[in-house]
Amino acid sequence: MAGSSVALRPARKRLTDLERKEALSGYLYISPWIVGFIVFTLGPMIASGYYSLTEYPLISSAKFVGLENYARLFQDATFWKSLGNTYYYAIIIVPVGVGGALFCALLLNQKIVGKSILRATFFLPSVTPVVATTMLWMWLFNPSVGLVNYILSLVGIKGPAWLGSTAWSKPALIIMDLWTSVGGNTMLIFLAGLQGIPGELYEASEIDGAGSWRKLWHITLPLLTPSIFLTMVLAVIGCLQVFSTAYVVSSGQSSVGGPSESTLFYMLNLYRHAFMYYEMGYASALAWVFFFMVLVFTLLQIKLSRSWVYYEAGEGTGI
């Protein structure tokens, strides 16, 4: 009606019996995941959010203390030490790991004899148990009888103490984790991306006189940017969560994260407060700070990706 102040609303579409049954079946099929998410993810997150506001020594009931845990956290020298160790690790291993995986994928995408065997060989370290690979590298980095220092001695170089040195412990862990991760899932993602690039683009570029480097720079890398973006996001999250290798390496020392807290990464510090000092409230505060750090880094990467990630359907990520 003209001049009426009441806006006309379209009639809500009513579901048919078939659509109701299909919707009910859909919810029924995903109900195991929903229950699992509520019980094992959402529930513990809500509980940890509450416990982060409490003093909870585990052997007695939680006592509400407000934001004291967060205030203590930012005044804790160990917190900043673990944060610095984690960023040191991530700043080196993310670009080197992603770049190394891309190089391996380009190499294994060539038409060479025994390509399948080489792919399996490169991928094998990533499926080897972490404890086994760590123990192997601990022997290799042994300052007295280790193979690494023996090889260095053959060329007149005195090898460092590696895992027993505050200066070389983190580089040693980086080498160990790169050996495991470079040929792993990141390489497989790049291989899948390389095999998805149309061969007609390379044929057309060859007709125009493009060489190998031009094809790599103008065809391969632009079309791989979605894969590069995905692997970088996963690599940053994974590096910030580094735990297992450092725990195994330092578990036999006087304190977890040694020597002199040089391998005390953020998650190792969280574990130490939760399961060694039984400070569940403080550990929960550490977990929530970590959650927001990962969230900020992920959103920042998504924001920056709009300027360099290429999608065939359009420009930018569209997120």
How does residue 227 score in pLDDT terms, banded at 50, 70 and 90?
A: very high
What is the pLDDT, as a whole number, of residue 251?
A: 78
Enter the tokens of residue 272: 């130490």
Q: How many helices (H) and strands (E) does the chain have?
A: 15, 4
What is the pLDDT, as a whole number, of residue 10?
A: 53
Q: Please compute the mean of the pLDDT values over residues 128-147 and round it to a whole number.
A: 91
Residue-wise pLDDT tens digits, 229-260: 999 999 999 999 999 999 998 876 667 888 88
Which amino acid appears at position 167 of this protein? Answer: A
CA distance readout (Å), 314 to 3, 49, 309, 317: 43, 40, 10, 8
Closest CA to 109 of 212, 232, 205, 178: 212
**CA separation for the pair 219, 74 (Å, rounded):** 47
Per the CB < 8 A criterion, the answer to whether 180 and 239 are in contact is no
Task: Look at 31-45, 89-103, 112-126, 136-150 and tell me which has the smallest mean pLDDT.
Answer: 112-126
Is pLDDT of 48 > 90?
yes
**CA separation for the pair 263, 256 (Å, rounded):** 8
Task: Output the pTM of the full model.
Answer: 0.85
For the chain, domains (ranges, CATH) are 22-68 (no CATH), 77-312 (1.10.3720.10)
Is pLDDT of 46 > 90?
yes
Per the CB < 8 A criterion, the answer to whether 115 and 129 are in contact is no
Task: Supply angle C-alpha 310, 314, 319, rounded to 5.
Answer: 80
More confident call, 177 vs 256:
177
Per the CB < 8 A criterion, the answer to whether 161 and 145 are in contact is no
